[in-house]
A = this chain, B = another copy of it.
């Protein structure tokens, strides 16, 4: 899979990762209040580490905090989803552009083999492709941009929000094969080092994805 692995060293890290997972997976419902005391007893750690975890979650836009009042998990709204995808379109478009310029030949080769292996999975209709495969694809292109800000904003910031929307809206739907074709053309543009085209295709890809999930939201 070669997917990334962030390891926790301090207790705050562990609390942060756990809390983030529970929010993304909907174990802690969207819009619900986060009590520092309750969480600290729950996780068996001090309030200080819970506070630090919540602060980090706030930086990821996963919780909102008001001074002297407390923190709430963000609530999922159609507007929020659209705004999120607008930022994704902008940022990942740029990532594709930079990836076409900066990825090594070896990385591009790996990306092609990844795509081929996913092609088999699509044919045999193993549709868990959606989450894992799609994430892996986008993740590699983001890394390929070699831009630290871009990588940080997307990987540490927005992607968990994207996943939160996907998980809690139950995105296991279709759009697997069409998205796969789009992935293929993006990789082709990157292979040709056509940064202009790569950005444009990536932006369209994300726009399609937005329309797809938006339609599902209204149904």
Q: Does A179 contact B (CB under 8 A)?
A: no
Stretch at the interface among A33-41, A122-130, A143-151: A143-151
In the complex this chain forms, how many copies of it are found? 2
Pick the contact of A153 from B52, B55, B87 — CB < 8 Å?
A: B87
Given contacts A10-B67, A67-B9, contact A149 B52 (CB under 8 A): no
Contacts of A147 in B (CB 8 A): 83, 86-87
Size range of the chain A interface in the assembly? 20 to 34
Given contacts A56-B59, A59-B56, A59-B59, contact A87 B150 (CB under 8 A): yes
Pick the contact of A89 from B52, B55, B94 — CB < 8 Å?
A: B94
Q: Does A18 contact B (CB under 8 A)?
A: no
Q: Does A84 contact B (CB under 8 A)?
A: yes
Q: How far, in whole Å, are A149 and B153 apart by their CA atoms in the complex?
A: 11
Q: How far, in whole Å, are A67 and B83 apart by their CA atoms in the complex?
A: 34
Contacts of A148 in B (CB 8 A): 80, 83
Contact A84 B10 (CB under 8 A): no
Contacts of A52 in B (CB 8 A): 51-52, 55
Q: Does A117 contact B (CB under 8 A)?
A: no
Pick the contact of A152 from B61, B67, B93, B149 — CB < 8 Å?
A: B61
9 A-B residue contacts at CB 8 Å? Answer: A9-B67, A9-B68, A52-B52, A55-B55, A83-B149, A83-B150, A86-B94, A86-B150, A149-B158
A-side residues, CB < 8 A to B, are 9-10, 13, 48, 51-52, 55-56, 59, 61, 67-68, 80, 83-84, 86-87, 89-91, 93-94, 98, 147-150, 152-153, 158
